[in-house]
Structure 1
């Protein structure tokens, strides 16, 4: 695969991420034993998008109160559900994202319990939070964060007597990285073909729902807009027919992200419309990937990781075809604003 080290992926997302299970369970068990009022999932840009799937999972599977909040807005909104009894989970690859670091400090000063996911230890976020879970390196950090969030969120549900299949779930999390690698390998030709065909396409609609809404939002904004300077719009499938449908034309690029949770029929509805209106419909469906060893009842949850892994195979080919490195920026972290 282009620009991909399979051994490094399995080491980082497999062995190293999975090795944190005992630590993560200890953190969650300690907090659960003391009691808490609610969970806040806080981030900025790609990391708040990363939190949306887990907010959805908690809302649809648990009675635990949960709020996914954009860091900068959270600090000014006077959130009436936030208190010293809240548990706040943050994520930042660099550990230096200004808004996220400030929000962590804000929560810590008000007595809330804080947990940080970071790639780099010895960084501001890592030093502020009560509990830090680190990957130790930036390579494959989002894939690793997803693994850690599975462990955190489902352990909280398990401790709330709401997820009796936790042990089975945790065992399947451990084999998920190999299933992700197989999914990426099987998607490689489609990823390359899409990038070749759309290297000059200047606008994409991305549609998703449920546990894949965060990926939809993140890929449009963080990858296509920030990293490739391509205009895009992320549209929730449930909202597509309240405005956006009027902009679909024969050559409009529509990318549908289909998962296997309860919201799949919402995306099916968009598919039925789009296949009649545009010749440029591209569907990424987690159901098409074998995911050896993953049970049917867990596939809907793991679709988050599967979808993100294969989406990022498109990214490396867009980078090549457009001669536009994913690291190139004009403004982000280049100037004060």
Structure 2
């Protein structure tokens, strides 16, 4: 597979899942101490990647859980943030400035702070109250966040089957490598067909809306300098659809939760307008070792693996490195 280091991918995935004992201990500690609300704080991609877990909590729990943009939280504040709050941060490098400032802001208010990162000596790991460290460069943080949120909800009696689910996550290195293998020819074909496409229209819903936002902004825009429009499938018929034309590249991210019907509705419409519709659907992947009832909540990491293949092939056909930036961490801002 193009640009795919299988041994490193397996090691990173296993290291994230391997945090299970520490995560369970953390949840037990937080629960015994008690807290009133939970903030999931990020910047850019790490903010968007928190949305599935805000969504999971909203679906299952009465606990107030809010995804927050680090810089906005620091600048504007939140009246519900205080000594009875817990804030979780994620950062691959552990150096994100906006997140660091948000950690300082939270700690000044007595908030308990937690971080998932890959570097124990990084500024973020050193700044928070508790840092849970996986293998360097491990991404995404879905494994850690899924373990944390399902364990937390389970202790509250709001998520059934946690032990079974957590046990099955041990299969993820094998599961996601097989996803990558299956996606490779699909990704190569998409890239070849879209080597000269300069604009993509992306749609997703449910727990895939954050992923849709992330792939549009952080990958296609930031890493490939492509123009995109991103729309929640529930909001598709309220504005941006007027941009669609016969040759518009439409990418639909389809999962297996209740929002699937909303993206189905979008698909029926866009096929009447555009001749260039691509669907990346988690149902196309067997996910051997994962029970049917848990497939839906794995959708973001499954499609992250699929589009990881797409990104590498776009890099190849467009001769545009995924590491190339004009402004991000290049210029002062």
TM-score range, shorter chain: over 0.9
Take 1:177 and 1:302, find their aligned partners in 2: how far apart are those partners? 13
Whether the aligned pair in 1 keeps the contact of 2:11 and 2:135 (CA below 8 Å) is no
1:162-213 Cα distance to aligned partner (Å, 9 max, x none): 1131101101111122111111111110100111111111100110011001
Who is 1:216 aligned against? 212
- Give how far 1:287 is off: 0.8
Whole-Å Cα distance in 2 between the matches of residues 315 and 106 of structure 1? Answer: 35
Report the 3-state secondary structure (helix = DSSP H, G, I; strand = E; otherwise coil) of the residue aligned with 1:142. coil
Given that 1:228 and 1:319 are in contact with CA atoms closer than 8 Å, whether structure 2 keeps it comes out as yes
Question: 177, 189, 195: which one pairs with 2:191?
Answer: 195
Runs in 1 of length 4+ with deviation above 6 angstroms?
Answer: none
* Aligned residues of 1:121 and 1:136 also touching (Cα < 8 A): no
In the aligned structure 2, how far is the partner of 1:93 from the partner of 1:13?
13
Q: Give the Cα separation in 1 of the matches to 2:163 and 2:268.
A: 39
CA contact (8 A) 1:108 1:128 kept: no
TM-score under structure 2 normalisation? 0.98
Pairing 1:168-207 to 2, within 5 Å after superposition: 168-207=164-203
Matched residue, 2:4? 4
Cα distance in 1 between the residues matched to 2:229 and 2:115: 30
Aligned residues: 333
Q: Deviations over 1:113-148 (max 9, x none)?
A: 11101122211110011110112311xx223x1111
Q: Once the 2 structures are TM-superposed, how far is the Cα of residue 322 of structure 1 from its aligned partner?
A: 0.8
Q: Which residue of 1 aligns with 2:139?
A: 142
**1:123 matched residue in structure 2:** 122
Residue of structure 1 aligned with 2:312, choices 308, 316, 329 = 316
Give the alignment's TM-score, normalised by structure 1: 0.97
- Separation in 1 of the partners of 2:34 and 2:169? 26
Q: In structure 2, which of residues 229, 251, 275 is the aligned counterpart of residue 233 of structure 1?
A: 229
User: CA-to-partner distance for each residue in 1:8-39, whole Å, 9 max, x for gaps?
Assistant: 2112202x222211111111110111100011
Distance in 2 separating the partners of 1:64 and 1:327? 39
Aligned residue for 2:249?
Answer: 253
3-state SS of 2:271 partner: helix
Question: Does structure 1 conserve the Cα–Cα contact (< 8 Å) formed by 2:115 and 2:124?
Answer: yes
Correspondence for 2:109: 110
Determine if contact 1:36/1:87 at 8 Å carries over to the other structure. yes
**Runs of at least 5 residues in structure 2 that lack an aligned partner in the other structure:** none
SS of 1:238's equivalent? helix
Equivalent of 2:269, from 267, 273, 280?
273
Contact 1:183 1:306 in 2 (8 A): yes
The answer as to whether partners of 1:256 and 1:284 remain within 8 angstroms in 2 is: yes
Once the 2 structures are TM-superposed, how far is the Cα of residue 108 of structure 1 from its aligned partner?
1.3
Partner of 1:47: 46
Structure 1: give runs of 5+ residues left out of the alignment: none
